[in-house]
Structures are given as structure tokens and as C-alpha cells.
Amino acid sequence: MFSQRFEILDLAKKISIQDYHYQLPDSRIAKYPLPERDQSKLLIWSPHEAIRCDRFVNIGNHLPTGCLLVFNNTKVIYARIFFRKETGAEIEIFCLKPFNPADYSLIFQTRDNCNWECMVGNSRKWKGGLLQKELIINQEKVILSARKISALSEGIWNIQFAWDKRQITFAGIIESTGEVPIPPYLKRKAEESDKTSYQTVYSKINGSVAAPTAGLHFTAKVFDSLRSRHIQTTEITLHVGAGTFQQVKSAEVSDHRMHSEEIMVSVPVLRQLIQHAGNIVATGTTSVRALESIYWLGIKLIQGYFPRSRSPLIGQWESYRVSENISPSESLSAVIEHLGKIQKDHLEITTQLMIIPGYEFRMTKGMITNFHQPGSTLLLLVAAFTGKAWSDIYQYALDNDFRFLSYGDSSLLLKQALSEPASFRS
């Protein structure tokens, strides 16, 4: 069994990314959302059934009876901050993730300075020195400055922000001066409407630099419909990084370095996941990645791993090297037991997990997701879930005028056909 797992890994890592490209005309990329979120199209796919279509507002009609719908409650921050030098050159600083303090909840509460990992636009015009700009917050003048501290990796800098009013938090700073980091493929500047439309209605926890876009279709009306059908919901947090837009540029998937993202989940939610093991539908690829990563942390704990850091890492390929067939309930119980030992009521982990064809899904039996870029890690994840059917799904969407990418239409992908008499549980 162990050698077989290595064979699967070796085969999967040799996947040619060219096999996961398709022709996406620019005209099919939705540059703006629909006026009503829940009126987007919904494609429904399950094995051995014909692909069919509905409106998203009716998604409750197509979800498995008794399923648990998992949402990513991360909130998109206004991560793009622009400064103008005395020479007139505009410098864009794109905040990627906290550096000091490294904790998301703490950094937004800092009151005079903090450091972020950032990308810098037009960086050749900013060799060093202080950038400054004047803000008006609560009818008071605030001077914000930015300074390059050190290079962290190619194109990534440790940037220190400082401001002269201690009563203002960094959350207040970016709310006042930052811009919504809409995806680069929209090929337009962020507009005031994006502050609402590029945010899920259930977003709560500051930290993402990209929206978990599968959730953009949900409205109060949809949630009312779910409640009327007794479909339970729960929330986890995965802060989406800019790497989510990074296409695989290497010929073979094995040469792609997967970006890392932070996950948080509470003990009560872990217990809900145990209760619904085998009947979980994830809203978005971010929720899928979070759920599967939590499972693999539990496996590591069962194998004797003891985390030495506050946020242990799930590596890019390590799940493909595990031979044990341990149930989700056993794995999540191990996570809860570990949290009890260290007296914490929630889990924090970092994941680099890359889900590609050949991956065996342990937590996720259904997925709500938009239509993704050719040659992207998100498309690889969808292909891992649906097998070779991914190309039929995408061709159907192209042939039937579906809108693509972040502001586009949606799909519901199920591992088991709803018409099958057997329970959805595995």
C-alpha cells in the first residue's frame, strides 16, 4: 500500500499543465457581478447524470439531504495602498500577509506601527527612504508612512507602516486609504461598488487579499431557503492569498511551488464536521483546501507529530505520502484531543497543500465553485474532484453562455448523484 501511494504521487507530480488549459475568450470573463448575486447561473454535475443548469437562488433544491454546508468567513481587506513620491512617481504597496506581529487578529489592532509582507509596484522608483501620505480619519489628520525594511524573497518586501495617531488602528488605516484588491484579470481599477460586491455577505474575519468567490452568490434569500430545507451551515476561516491567482508556469506540476495560507477553525465546528462526516459540501476551493488540510493535520497527530509552532504547516506534497486509511472522524477527534492538551479552543494551521488529479478527497463530498482560469491550481483541484469530466463541465459552461472567473457564474459538483437511492454518506 505504501509503495502504491508513492506511485500515485510520482504519477501525479508528472502531470503536464498543458492538459489543463482551455480557450477562454476575454469576452467570457465577467468584469462586473450581476445586479442580483443569486441570479447567476448554476451548473449541477454529479457522476452518471447529465449536466444540468438552474439559477443559484435555487441551490437548496440541489443540495444533498442532511448535508453540512461549510463557508469560509474570511473578509477581504483593502490591501492596495498607494503613495506618491515628491517626483510624482506612484508607488503601490500590496499587503500580502502580516509580518510583525505575524498574527492576523493582532496586526489589525496595532496602534502606531506594524510590518507586512508586501509586493511593491513600480519598485524601481523607490530605492529606499520614507513614503508619506496624509489621511483624514474621523475628521482628524493622520500622517501614514511606509519604509522598506528588507527583501524577504524575490519581489516580496518587509514593509513597515507607521502613523502618528495612536488612537487609530491599522484596521482603520486600510479602511481609510486602501483599495479593494480585485483580480488582475479584470483589467480595470477597483470601483466603489467593489467594496460591497467583492465581499461575501457573511464575511467576518479580516485577512484575505482575494475573495472566496464561490460565496459571492449567497444572499439572505438563499440562506432563508437553506433554513427552510433544514440544511445546516458552519464557518471556518482561510485567509486567501494573492497566490490564488498564480497560474502554473512550469511544464510539470511537480515544479510549481504552492503558496501558503492560514486556516482557523473552532472546536465546536470540528465537532460539527465529525457529526456530518461523509456529508459535507464545501463552499469554494478555499473551504475544500481548509477541510482537507485539517484532516491531514489529524493524521500527523495520530502518527505522533507534536507541533512546535503556533501554526503548524501542512506541506505541499506530504498528504500523498501517507498510507493509512483513517476516517475523518478519527482524524478530527485527534485534532480536538490535541487542542484539549494545549488548552486551546481553536485550531490555527498553515497549509501549502496542493490538490491535483490523483488526490483522494477525505472530507469533501460536494463543492460549490466558480469557473477558474486555465492552467491554475484551482482548476487542478476541480479536475481532481471530477476526474476527466472537468473538460465536459467547462465545455458545457462555454457552450451555454456561462460567465467565468471571480464575478462569474457558479457550479455545484457532487461526488454522488442525487437520484441514487443510497445515502450521500460514505
Q: Give the DSSP letter string of 86-155.
A: TTS-EEEEEEEEEEES--HHHHTT-SSEEEEEEEEETGGG--SSEEEEEEEETTEEEEEEEEEEEEEETT
Residues 19-38 have a mean pLDDT of 96
Q: What pLDDT digit, counting tens, does each position of 111-156 carry?
A: 999 999 999 998 889 988 899 999 999 989 999 999 999 999 888 9
* Closest of 168, 97, 170 to residue 139, by C-alpha: 168
Answer left, alpha or beta for residue 192, where phi above 0 means left and psi between -120 and 50 means alpha: alpha
What pLDDT was estimated at residue 5? 52
What pLDDT was estimated at residue 158? 97
The C-alpha atoms of residue 192 and residue 183 are separated, in whole angstroms, by 15
Q: Is the pLDDT of residue 420 over 80?
A: no
Q: Is the pLDDT of residue 51 over 70?
A: yes
More confident residue, 237 or 306: 237
Strands across the sheet with 130-137, in order?
Answer: 80-84, 90-100, 113-121, 156-163, 140-153, 130-137
Model confidence at 421, pLDDT cuts 50, 70, 90, reads very low
What pLDDT was estimated at residue 228? 94
pTM over 0.75: yes
Q: Name the percent of the chain lying above pLDDT 90.
A: 81
Q: What pLDDT digit, counting tens, does each position of 64-110 carry?
A: 989 999 999 999 999 999 999 988 899 999 999 999 999 998 999 99
**Single-letter amino acid, residue 340:** G
Helices 328-341 and 285-302: crossing angle, nearest 10°?
A: 70
Q: What pLDDT digit, counting tens, does each position of 309-348 carry?
A: 888 999 998 888 776 689 999 999 999 999 999 999 999 9
Model confidence at 2, pLDDT cuts 50, 70, 90, reads very low
What pLDDT was estimated at residue 425? 35
* Residue environment code for 317-328, b if the CB has 16+ CB neighbours within 10 A, otherwise e: eebbeeeeeeeb
Domains of the chain: 2-75+198-414 (3.40.1780.10), 79-178 (2.40.10)
Q: Is the pLDDT of residue 254 over 90?
A: no
What pLDDT was estimated at residue 212? 96
Residues 175-192 have a mean pLDDT of 94
Cell of 397: 459552461
Contact assessment for residue 349 and residue 296, using Cβ atoms and an 8 Å cutoff: no
Contact assessment for residue 238 and residue 72, using Cβ atoms and an 8 Å cutoff: yes
Q: Is the pLDDT of residue 246 over 80?
A: no
The C-alpha atoms of residue 157 and residue 127 are separated, in whole angstroms, by 12
Q: Is the pLDDT of residue 6 over 80?
A: no
What pLDDT was estimated at residue 419? 43
Q: Is the pLDDT of residue 416 over 80?
A: no
What pLDDT was estimated at residue 322? 73
Residues 363-376 have a mean pLDDT of 96
Q: Is the pLDDT of residue 49 over 80?
A: yes
What pLDDT was estimated at residue 426? 34
Residues 30-42 have a mean pLDDT of 97
Q: Is the pLDDT of residue 1 over 60?
A: no
Strand partners, 247: 376
